[in-house]
A and B are shown apart, each in its own frame.
Chain A
Amino acid sequence: DQQVKQNSPSLSVQEGRISILNCDYTNSMFDYFLWYKKYPAEGPTFLISISSIKDKNEDGRFTVFLNKSAKHLSLHIVPSQPGDSAVYFCAASPNSGGSNYKLTFGKGTLLTVNP
């Protein structure tokens, strides 16, 4: 049973527009969420995170929104650039201060940004 779900395997957007990647989770114990980005032939790299005490975290063109009541988070990329084309993984971890190795990943969403 998947606890972290990324229901869109792929997403295609035009350069300059907004990309919105979605993630749903089922485990109410999750309280820390991360997004990783993966280019082909490379390992995932950390992008942005959010704690459950917040509903928004912003870092440059990247913003993560958390809706705890809906158990939903989203990653917004504005404006999207061709270099953002990659697979984006959502990950979740239970209780802040707990063990890092409880990180649970989604299957990923392939984002393609067209010039």
Chain B
Amino acid sequence: ETGVTQTPRHLVMGMTNKKSLKCEQHLGHNAMYWYKQSAKKPLELMFVYSLEERVENNSVPSRFSPECPNSSHLFLHLHTLQPEDSALYLCASSQDNRGNEKLFFGSGTQLSVL
């Protein structure tokens, strides 16, 4: 496999559930990102990791908890979400997180919170 892989592709969860989104990149990149895409809104940056250290937390509620155990893997742990959190969650990577670099995106996880 190459590129950026996200699992699961679809997720339906209740407001009291705990679930995790997984992202894996096979590109040898040093930076990884979580983006949220809600209907009719621009992509919103949630978190940035560079060399496994979180370098940006874009005012995201604590019910979203990222984890980056190594430079190839990124998780987004979800708990007590709200229906308005239903969205497409996209993982991305880039060689580094400085300079004008291309982001490589995964296919996303379509999340529905009931």
Contact = CB atoms under 8 A, between A and B. Distances in A.
Contact of B103 (A42, A46, A96, A98): A46
Contacts of A36: 103, 105
A42 B106 CA distance: 7
Interface in A61-115: 89, 93, 96-101, 103-108
Interface residues of A, number: 27
Contacts of A104: 42
B100 A49 contact: yes
Contacts of A107: 40-42
A108 B38 CA distance: 12
18 contacts: A4-B42, A34-B100, A36-B103, A41-B107, A43-B6, A43-B90, A43-B105, A44-B43, A46-B104, A89-B43, A97-B98, A97-B100, A100-B94, A100-B97, A100-B103, A105-B43, A106-B42, A108-B42
Given A36-B105, A107-B40, 17 more contacts: A34-B102, A41-B9, A43-B105, A43-B107, A43-B108, A44-B105, A45-B105, A97-B99, A97-B100, A98-B99, A99-B97, A100-B94, A100-B98, A101-B55, A101-B97, A104-B42, A107-B42
